């Protein structure tokens, strides 16, 4: 993300108020965060609220993940596409008296092994052309979000954990 002409390293990226940039040498791959997991995105240009502590020269982006709802909710989804590409999501949240929880898991996988015409680097010579299968285009990505909340009197305690994993050129 570039804000006001800054580089991506000059924008502080937060996930639920936790800075992601330092753990990744200044660059954050936003494609690893599933869109189904995002409730809203806050963008602050230049100056930012004090709760972030540090701000990049360009500004701050705070990605806020889903929160448990008042009513129990369960969602399951599955989609399938070309080249053995699929995505599966599982979501569950519930509030029981003073305790609430949220569980969200998503899995994306693709073989990416499609056929294409390889001209062997010689577009004018059709004698060396062949149909070839794409290699090293596989990927496997996962995201697991766990949230637990507890309300006591006027206090609220939250525990949250978000795990991302992406493997490129994964051998199926």
Say if residue 23's pLDDT is above 60.
Answer: no
3-state secondary structure of 17: coil
pLDDT at 25: 61
What distance in Å separates the CA atoms of residue 104 and residue 89, rounded to the nearest whole number? 7
pTM, to two decimals: 0.71
Q: What's the token pair of residue 139?
A: 């990927």
- Dihedral (Cα; 91, 96, 67, 106), 10-degree rounding: -20
Mean pLDDT of the region 104-116: 85
What φ, ψ does residue 69 adopt, rounded to 5°?
Answer: -90, 175
pLDDT at residue 36 is higher than 60? yes
Contact between 137 and 85 (Cβ < 8 Å) = no
Q: Distance between CA 119 and CA 88 in Å, rounded?
A: 37
Mean pLDDT value of segment 114-126: 84
- Both tokens of 10, joined, read 């000059």
Q: How far is CA 98 from the centre of its chain?
A: 29
pLDDT at residue 170 is higher than 70: no
Res. 172 pLDDT band, cuts 50 70 90 = very low
The two structure tokens encoding residue 168: 């490129």
| Predicted local confidence at residue 2, as pLDDT | 78
What is the maximum alpha-carbon separation in the chain?
79
């Amino acid at each position: 993300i570039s804000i006001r002409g800054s580089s991506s390293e000059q924008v502080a990226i937060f996930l639920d108020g936790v800075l992601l940039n330092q753990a990744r040498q200044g660059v954050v791959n936003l494609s690893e965060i599933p869109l189904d997991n995002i409730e809203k995105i806050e963008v602050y240009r230049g100056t930012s609220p004090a709760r972030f502590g540090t701000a990049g020269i360009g500004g701050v982006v705070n990605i806020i993940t889903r929160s448990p709802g008042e009513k129990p909710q369960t969602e399951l989804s599955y989609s399938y596409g070309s080249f053995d590409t699929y995505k599966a999501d599982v979501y569950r949240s519930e509030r029981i008296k003073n305790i609430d929880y949220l569980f969200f898991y998503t899995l994306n996988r693709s073989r990416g092994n499609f056929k294409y015409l390889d001209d062997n680097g010689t577009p004018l010579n059709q004698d060396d052309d062949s149909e070839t299968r794409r290699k090293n285009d596989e990927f496997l990505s996962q995201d697991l979000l766990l949230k637990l909340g507890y309300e006591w009197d006027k206090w609220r305690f939250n525990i949250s954990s978000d795990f991302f994993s992406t493997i490129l050129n994964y051998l199926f």
